[in-house]
Amino acid sequence: MPVNNEENSKKEPCPSHDAMRLQLYMARCGVASRRASEEIIAAGRVSVNGTVVTEPGTKVSLADSVSVDGKEISLEETLRYVLLNKPSGYVCSASDEKGRQVASDLLKDAYRERLYSIGRLDMFSSGLIIFTNDGSFAAKLSHPSAELEKEYIVDTSVPLPRSLADDFMDGIRIDGIFYRCKDARELNARRMRIVLEEGKNREIRRVFEKYEVGIKSLMRVRIGCVGVESLQYGQFRDLTQAEVAALKRLCRN
């Protein structure tokens, strides 16, 4: 359910340009981030004025007709920035072929815009995730060079090994992939606070699996300057303009 905030009702109009790169146009139409839009273009799913285009750098204008999978798209009138406290059991993909619950469905009754998540949380993890239709904002926050902090609380089924926190901060190589967190602190024998910056796929779970530590729950409680606070599972709210600006400033790219 949405959480009301007077400042959240303010709208930020999308900027308009005579011509722009196709992937940027798609991002501003709320299709996907610029990077994901490039993949959609390369897959031959986009047409401009009835002709399939596979080159992301193609320039388009507002006078052009652009379609994705046969459906015409248009620039969003309002840029949205939505913070969701995702419950466990929901996937972050736009749709799921296995019929699992999709996190974006929690927002669809409140927003007419097509929103997509910035990054992901796996199905069994819970916590904060940002949805937007602003491709530039999504690309800035999700790029590894942003080094935007994400904080997690991990509850385990067995006591934590004494060396795990220090090892994770020093760096651990698993199956050829190097994992290192910015900070890790034991809160009690079976709870740890972890701060990541880059955040590789299933990073925390893979590190804990290496130490044969079962995870009972994994929750993201902070993204940059935005914390979960009183937002309950399944609840969401618009980020304030100040929060959006602060998140941009925190990114180092």
Q: Where are the beta strands (DSSP E) in 69-112?
A: 71-72, 81-86, 90-91, 101-102
The two structure tokens encoding residue 81: 């920035």
Q: Pick the catalytic residue: 122, 134, 166, 175?
A: 122
Let me know if 170 is a catalytic residue.
no
Q: What is the three-class DSSP state of 5?
A: coil
Q: Is the dihedral of CA 188, 190, 191, 192 positive or negative?
A: positive
Q: Which of 111, 48, 101, 110 is nearest to 78 (CA)?
A: 111
Catalytically active residues, by annotation: 122
